[in-house]
Amino acid sequence: MAAALPEARAGDRKRVVFLLNLLQDLNIVRGLVYLTARETDADILLLVSHGFLKRDRLNGWQSEVAVLAADTNASIFLYGSPIEATAALKGGTGIIFAGSESSLLAHWETSDVFRAAPPGYVRVTLQHGIECVGFLQSREHLMSHGRNVSFGADIVCGWMELPALTSMVASERAKLVVTGPPTLLQSPGGFPAKTQTTGLVCENLHSVRLRASGDHKAAFMDIFFAFAAALAARGEGVTLRPHPGGQYVLKNNVALPANVGLNNRPIFDVNLKAYRFGISAPSTIVLDMVLAGIPVGVWRDPAGVMDASTYDGLTAISTLDDWLAFERDLVLRPDMILERQRAFLERLRMPINPAEIYHRFARLIVGLLSGVNVRASAAPADGPKPRPAALSGEKLVQVPA
Amino acid sequence: MVRKVPADFDPERYRAEHPDVALSGLEPAEHYLLFGRIMGRRSAPARELPVTPAPEPTKAKPDPPEPNETRPAEKPLAPKERPKPIIDRPADFEPEQALVRPAPPKPGADKNGRFALARLAEEVAADAGHGLGAFRRMFGIDAAKNAPAIGLGAAQILRGPARVENAWLTADGVLRLMIADYGGETDGWTVRAYDADAAEPAQLQLLGPGASLPERGPVLVEFQLRHRLMPLLLEISNGSGAVKEVALLPFPSLLPGGLHNAELRALQSESNPMDAFWSLSDLLLRELVGEPNSSELSIGRLSRFQAAEPAASAFDGDIEQWLTAVFGFQRSEGDGKSLARRNGAADLLLPSDCIPTISSLVSRSLSGRGTSPYLIADSETLRPRWSVVLPAAWDAKGTAPVVGPSGRDGAPSVHVAIALRAPPAPSLSTGSARKKSRARRKLSVLLDSTHPDRSKAAVAALRTAIGSELDLLVRVSGEEASFRSVIDGAWKVVDADLPSVAAQAKHDQLLTITDQVDLSDGSVLDTLAGMLKNKKVASASCLLLREVLLKKQKVLQPATGGLFPAGVSFATSPSLTFAEPDVLQALPDLTYPVVANTLQLTLWRTSALASLPKPSRPLPASASDISIGLALAERGLVSLCTTKVSARLNRDYEPRDAIDPIGQSRLALQDWQQLLGCVTLLRQMF
């Protein structure tokens, strides 16, 4: 039974608002939207930025937002400016979650909403990757974004304990609540059992990781194509997954060999367990694949320039020979690879038990909602109005209020 | 080898399939050879090629859930096949366990929430730490003479199971406390908050009902404040209503969202900002209400920024009430406008455009020390943006407000500022407001010409501003003839370094200017000439603004306001690096000494320039101004810059950042200290 939240004042509604700006935000907040619907009687709002619509070139993610809203009885609003977002926030109190928010220019669409949010809301930023600006940054992050990333949020939900979050600046540390990854709230079940025959290679070629300390993109793709050719010679295939935030091979229309399939579905619709192995440059997908229990190879550039220290202990592969050796080890000594991964998870200082993560987020959301009791800001008589939206075809479009 | 497109290359199809081809302006075949081939694009219709069709960028191609299919599936999963969205609720979780509920009514409080301070003192367990003694001393309540040890009294709230992990103030004056996940130890505990009116501090006022903590945290507890600055008392009671602890928040405005949070950020000495809040609160409290000999902070020098404004005018009733009740300030008897400290030990005149830091308000003694840094805060967020140190010798007029805390032996340990100052809105010269020079003057001018038309306009502006006594020297880049035909009047071509040019100048003052500076405002020259009246000053310049296109609008941004030390480079031998920071934020409406002035627009004392040795080797163009500035500084001369007036650049200008232009050890290591002691130092804070 959902918690019956005390009303702040007569007529005020408690709300939980989720900002969707980057495509990958959906995967970060999705589990929390379902959890909120289950555990509270608060209104749920999904605020979708124009940037989200623009980034969804293939129109695959907007329909996922619509499905999420339908499943949880949430309302969808579009916003192109912080004022429009504020218009949707007026008249309620509660929590605003952002899947990606910081002082970086790339996050302005969410940080501006936080700055303009009515004071009746508690603003919460979610860590959105194992290496994440303001939480834990690689050397390439530091080169690209500097060391002084801060948050507009009142609370930041981290995946790991503070000592492991080495990039959290002093002024932000009091905001930390360690919750673990919200992505683990999502159910991994529901997929048909199939024979594992192919591996999954994930590309994040858009990432600063692949360009800040040198142009590593060409090296990765060259090795991938050679690897695919070696598999093709044996009559085998491999699946390539573009990072949702970058989608490099799609945006650049890169032709792929015949034995390479694409998997561009949201990660929560991907049955990672069904793959024979996983390969990726350092990225959060590595953790996803490790948690799925498949053997994982972490690629780093053959020259060894790239900082992959967060993933130390996992099987590292660089050259084509490494890739092929890793693929042979899947047969000859899989336990060795999986044992490395178990040790890696133990060292992470991160809650990975989904039930514990559920506890932490549920207590946080219910505790915050019941603690916020100030009067909601009244909606202004003039100025921008809220822009409710619904799915039309594959796109979210504004509908009459 | 000349590459050719494949024989089956279909240019129209290639153009249609790849929209970037049309955008590039290249022929399809050319584009294919340059880019498409490298990107692996097909050159012919897909059906004719053995490779897999590339994914279309405009249409989603969902992948099947089964990995053994190597091609994208055409249809997405049906809804019924979607996995269950999230895991089941853990069996041991009940949402009711996490609810924060209003606390029961406080026994003894009247219907308006008023509660006697004396009664609260009786309720506190004798062995519990509490901040009531310090609270009474803050307000000078009679019983304070016998008050116990001074301290915040917050064992539970600082370190115990009800530890406040974070606290902040919202824009509408709500104090929010995040209380830790205490693992069920505080089940049934309640948190209440009190404040008091300055006129009747012994009568406490409950701020709302308070909150009953649930079994597990973290939880949010909030209180609507009645006054944004006044001290607060936080009470922790157990399940049976017995008061366990009363903690004092003497200066809640130090919290994020508060008026003084910038001070906390600037002085944060603990790794966690909440720990820093408590430790700084304790330090300031002890200074305010401690024993006479326990002073740990001392004010270096008191001053006010602008004498023109009556000091009290910047403070509304709330702030004045707080200054009077907590810090003992009163309206001065003399003018009835200024606020002065009651005991008269430090005649603190509060500046009208600043927020006095709590450090300066609690400090009780003068250290006699020289200058200390002061802070420039962001005008909207009050976040400290710049730390400014003006050299003591230059700051004779008390431009910089300073507070220098010192240890008991008198040696300073850290620096705090007397005031947080928001930069005023810039008053920029515009076309309609341009003024003419008040006086014609004799002036030599070195014009660096880059374009005939701009040079023509620049010379016209100079003749208007200076008049017939203009001694014009022109250094041209390009064909001299093209400038000859457009620049009117008498002028002389020079092609030499600045000291050599100065030796040729007729007049005592030499203006260096480029044809990229718009000098329509003649009063700029008057200001610069005024700065040169001091014989120690060798050069004078002002803020230069540039036009920047920002979101389709032209805006003015600072280009340069002089060169400042920026850091140390170890690229070769250790050397100082220099930069051109945004002085409009850091040094608004101020005249300040710099390492060097840019050659874009500077008025020089000709004799000082002419006395400089000629460079022994060619310097890069970006280093010539710094080289001259350092040479002048070696002779004890000062380069001044001002943000009181400004001129505009009609071309883009990229401010230099952390450059090491001199290369080898132009500035000897042992000379650093001398240089740093006589120029303005800026530190941008994050």
Going by C-alpha positions, the residue among B367, B368, B372 that lies closest to residue B389 is B372
Q: Which DSSP category does A357 fall into?
A: H
Contacts of B187 in chain A (CB under 8 A): none
- Residue A173 Cα, gap to closest chain B Cα (Å): 6
Q: If you average pLDDT over residues B571-600, what whole number do you get?
A: 84
- Across the beta sheet with B174-179, what order do the strands follow? B164-169, B174-179, B219-224
> Which residues is B264 bridged to in the sheet?
none
The total of other beta-carbon atoms located within 10 Å of residue B439's CB is 9
B87/A354 touch (CB, cutoff 8 Å), yes or no: yes
pLDDT band at A271 (very low <50, low <70, confident <90, very high): confident
- CA dist B629 and B207 (Å) reads 60
- CA dist B70 and A271 (Å) reads 15
A262/B96 touch (CB, cutoff 8 Å), yes or no: no
Amino acid making up residue B490: A
| Chain B touched by A1 (CB under 8 Å) | yes
| Chain A touched by B55 (CB under 8 Å) | yes
For A81-216, where are the alpha helices, taking DSSP H only? Answer: 82-89, 108-116, 139-145
The most confident of the ranges A143-157, B34-48, B433-447 is A143-157
Question: For B70, which of A40, A198, A374 is closest by C-beta distance?
Answer: A198
Q: What pLDDT does residue B342 have?
A: 47
The most confident of the ranges A128-132, B21-25, B669-673 is A128-132
| Chain B touched by A57 (CB under 8 Å) | yes
Going by C-alpha positions, the residue among B679, B406, B387 that lies closest to residue B561 is B679
> Which two tokens mark A239?
């699946």
CA dihedral (A37, A40, A45, A49) positive or negative: negative
Q: What pLDDT does residue B593 have?
A: 93
> Which two tokens mark B149?
């040890």
In angstroms, the Cα distances linking A281 to A206, A210, A310, B436, B497 are 12, 8, 12, 65, 55
- CA dist B564 and B601 (Å) reads 17
Question: Is pLDDT above 50 for B175?
Answer: yes
Q: What angle do CA B215, B220, B223 make, to 5 degrees?
A: 125
Question: For B166, which of A174, A195, A198 is closest by C-beta distance?
Answer: A174
- CA dist B646 and B424 (Å) reads 15
Residues A388, A75: contact at Cβ < 8 Å?
Answer: yes
Question: For A355, which of B54, B90, B218 is closest by C-beta distance?
Answer: B90
In angstroms, the Cα distances linking A52 to A56, A284, A389, B63 are 6, 20, 13, 21
- CA dist B581 and B511 (Å) reads 23
Question: Is pLDDT above 60 for B115?
Answer: yes
Q: If you average pLDDT over residues B124-132, what whole number do you get?
A: 69
CA R_g for chain A: 22
Q: What pLDDT does residue A90 have?
A: 87
Mean pLDDT of chain A: 87
E-assigned strand segments in B478-552: 492-493, 509-514, 517-518, 537-550
Q: Which DSSP category does A261 fall into?
A: E
E-assigned strand segments in A99-198: 121-126, 155-158, 176-178
E-assigned strand segments in B288-399: 329-331, 339-341, 354-356, 374-377, 384-389
pLDDT band at B341 (very low <50, low <70, confident <90, very high): low
Alpha carbon of residue A400 to chain centroid: 31
| Chain A touched by B27 (CB under 8 Å) | no
B residues 69-88 closer than 8 Å to A (CB) = 69-72, 76-77, 79, 81-87
Q: State the complex-level ipTM.
A: 0.86
| Chain A touched by B292 (CB under 8 Å) | no
Going by C-alpha positions, the residue among B292, B296, B177, B155 that lies closest to residue B232 is B177
B168-189 CB burial, b ≥16 within 10 A, e <16: bbbeebbbbbbbbbbeeebeeb
| Chain B touched by A166 (CB under 8 Å) | no
SS (H, E, C) B242-296: CEEEEEEECCHHHCCCCCCHHHHHHHCCCCCHHHHHHHHHHHHHHHHHCCCCCCC
Q: If you average pLDDT over residues B178-202, what whole number do you get?
A: 86
Q: How many helices (H) and strands (E) does chain B have?
A: 18, 31
- Residue B315 Cα, gap to closest chain A Cα (Å): 24
- Residue B60 Cα, gap to closest chain A Cα (Å): 5
Contacts of residue B469, Cβ cutoff 8 Å, sequence gap at least 6 = B440, B441, B442, B443, B507
E-assigned strand segments in B46-140: 101-102, 114-116
Q: What angle do CA B283, B288, B290 make, to 5 degrees?
A: 80
Q: What pLDDT does residue B76 have?
A: 35
B348-365 CB burial, b ≥16 within 10 A, e <16: bbbbbbbbbbbbbbbbbe
Contacts of residue A202, Cβ cutoff 8 Å, sequence gap at least 6 = A240, A241, A243, A278, A279, A280, A281, A283, A285, A289
Going by C-alpha positions, the residue among B653, B648, B643 that lies closest to residue B518 is B648
Q: What angle do CA B636, B642, B644 make, to 5 degrees?
A: 150
- CA dist B348 and B351 (Å) reads 9
Going by C-alpha positions, the residue among A389, A400, A387 that lies closest to residue A80 is A387
A192/B58 touch (CB, cutoff 8 Å), yes or no: no
Q: If you average pLDDT over residues B565-573, what whole number do you get?
A: 77
Alpha carbon of residue A382 to chain centroid: 36
A198/B57 touch (CB, cutoff 8 Å), yes or no: no
Q: What pLDDT does residue A364 have?
A: 94
Going by C-alpha positions, the residue among B683, B674, B672, B678 that lies closest to residue B573 is B672
* Region for residue B658 given its phi and psi (left: phi exceeds 0; alpha: psi -120 to 50; beta: otherwise): left
| Chain A touched by B652 (CB under 8 Å) | no
- Residue with more model confidence, B177 or B372: B177
The total of other beta-carbon atoms located within 10 Å of residue B93's CB is 16
Residues A256, A277: contact at Cβ < 8 Å?
Answer: no
pLDDT band at B62 (very low <50, low <70, confident <90, very high): very low
Q: Return the number of CB contacts < 8 Å for A and B.
A: 234
- Residue with more model confidence, B140 or A133: A133
For B446-459, the pLDDT digits (tens) are 998 888 888 888 88
| Chain B touched by A81 (CB under 8 Å) | no
| Chain B touched by A319 (CB under 8 Å) | no
| Chain A touched by B16 (CB under 8 Å) | no
B residues 29-48 closer than 8 Å to A (CB) = 39-42
A residues 109-138 closer than 8 Å to B (CB) = 119, 122
Amino acid making up residue A373: N
Contacts of B262 in chain A (CB under 8 A): none
Q: If you average pLDDT over residues B416-423, what whole number do you get?
A: 51
Contacts of B71 in chain A (CB under 8 A): 261
